Amino acid sequence: MLVWAEWYREVQAQLEQRREERRLELERRRVAREQRGLERRRRGPASSSLDAGREPPGPHGWLTTKQAAEILGVTPATVHRHAGSLETHHGAQLWVTEESVLRLREERRRWMSWQEAADLIGCSRHAVAKLLAAGHLNRRQVNRAVSLSPASVEAAARVHAEQQKAADQARAADRLAKEHALRERTAPPDDGEVWLDVTTAALLLGVTANSVRQRIRHGRVPATRRGRRFWLRRVDVEQASAAAAFHAKVDASGVGNRI
């Protein structure tokens, strides 16, 4: 029992020593970090290698890509794509002159993107491409991006509106022609007779429209087919109605059973 107690005290002493060593190591690291921070603050931001190139190359007239993007109404990535059209300085980040950004903004106002043209014309980008191929738009290409002159876009908008109007008129005329042809195909014969459609005939006969169609298929009622529609002469329907009424009267009086 005494041996175990001695061993336990020795283990606890070793653990306490390790904890103390760990505490001292952490304290040493904390002091080192504070010293490095004081040294960086004493040197100032301009002397830090991490911040080298992050200051503008001149005191005035330089913008970050984010500031330039806000002026142009685009994304910073678009500013990078237009770097060839701007006065730039490459350090840890890209700097551009405010003067060149303002020039580019004015130049962009004189030219339009495909999407801007599509929005103004009221069509898709595919329609813009067709107008361009037809020679209705003036274009230029800068940094792989195609721009269109606003004047030609406005003229193309009028052309597109006229084309749409003509297309709408053509579609309307075609629809009317098809409707007329359908009426011609399904209209009753023009022979001086009075013709009834299936629904009207069913009302006169006191049956359903399906019942009339079945009688037509079985040859019990004469009919003429025009397209998908059946037409029955009124005289035939009236005769069928009179015959049905007669048979109903006979059945009701029982004459048929006595004969």
**CATH of residue 201:** 1.10.1660
- Of 148, 143, 95, which is closest to residue 121 (Cα–Cα)? 148
The average pLDDT across 62-74 equals 84
Q: By the 8 A CB rule, do 129 and 156 touch?
A: no
Query: Based on the domain organization, do 199 and 160 belong to the same domain?
Result: no
Residues 97 and 121 in one domain: no
Kindly state whether residue 54 falls inside one of the protein's structural domains: no
Residue 142's DSSP bridge partners are 145
User: Per-residue confidence at 78, pLDDT binned at 50, 70, 90?
Assistant: confident
Give the domain range for residue 123.
Answer: 114-169
The confidence score (pLDDT) of residue 86 equals: 82
How many structural domains comprise the chain? 3
* Domain-located, residue 34: no
- Regarding whether 121 and 73 lie in a shared domain, the answer is no
* Same-domain pairing of 69 and 99: yes
Whether residues 99 and 118 share a domain: the answer is no
Sign of the torsion angle spanned by Cα atoms 117, 123, 129, 133:
negative
> Are residues 67 and 98 both part of a single domain?
yes
- Among residues 128, 154, 169, which one ends one of the domains? 169
In a domain, 11, yes or no: no
121 and 105, same domain (yes or no): no
Separation CA 251–CA 27 (nearest Å): 119
- Evaluate whether residue 6 is within a structural domain: no
Quote the tokens at residue 52: 């080298």
123 with 165, same domain?
Answer: yes
- Answer yes or no: do 97 and 133 share one domain: no
- 122 and 164 in one domain? yes
For position 48, what pLDDT does the model report?
42
Q: Are residues 118 and 157 in the same domain?
A: yes
Judgement on whether residues 67 and 93 belong to the same structural domain of the protein: yes
At residue 104, φ and ψ (nearest 5 deg) are: -65, -40
Q: What is the mean pLDDT of residues 194-219?
A: 93
Q: In this predicted model, which residue has the larger pLDDT, 3 or 212? A: 212
Under DSSP, the state recorded for 51 is T
More confident residue, 183 or 207: 207
Q: Which helix (H) or strand (E) holds 209?
A: helix 209-217
pLDDT, averaged across the chain: 81
What is the distance between the alpha carbons of residues 131 and 156, in angstroms, rounded to a whole number? 7
Dist. CA 203–CA 221, nearest whole Å: 15
pLDDT digits (tens, 9 = 90+) for 239-251: 988 988 888 787 7
- Residue at 259 is within a domain: no
Q: Quote the pTM value.
A: 0.42
Query: Where is pLDDT greater, at 139 or 37?
Result: 139
pLDDT band at 254 (very low <50, low <70, confident <90, very high): low
Whether 183 is in a domain gets the answer no
Last residue of a domain, one of 133, 151, 169: 169
pLDDT average, residue stretch 75-95 = 80
Q: Is 187 among the domain residues?
A: no
Q: Is 45 part of any domain?
A: no
Listed ranges 63-67, 106-110, 167-171; the one with the highest mean pLDDT: 167-171
Q: 3-62: per-residue pLDDT in tens?
A: 556 766 776 777 778 777 877 887 787 777 767 666 665 655 444 444 445 677 776 788
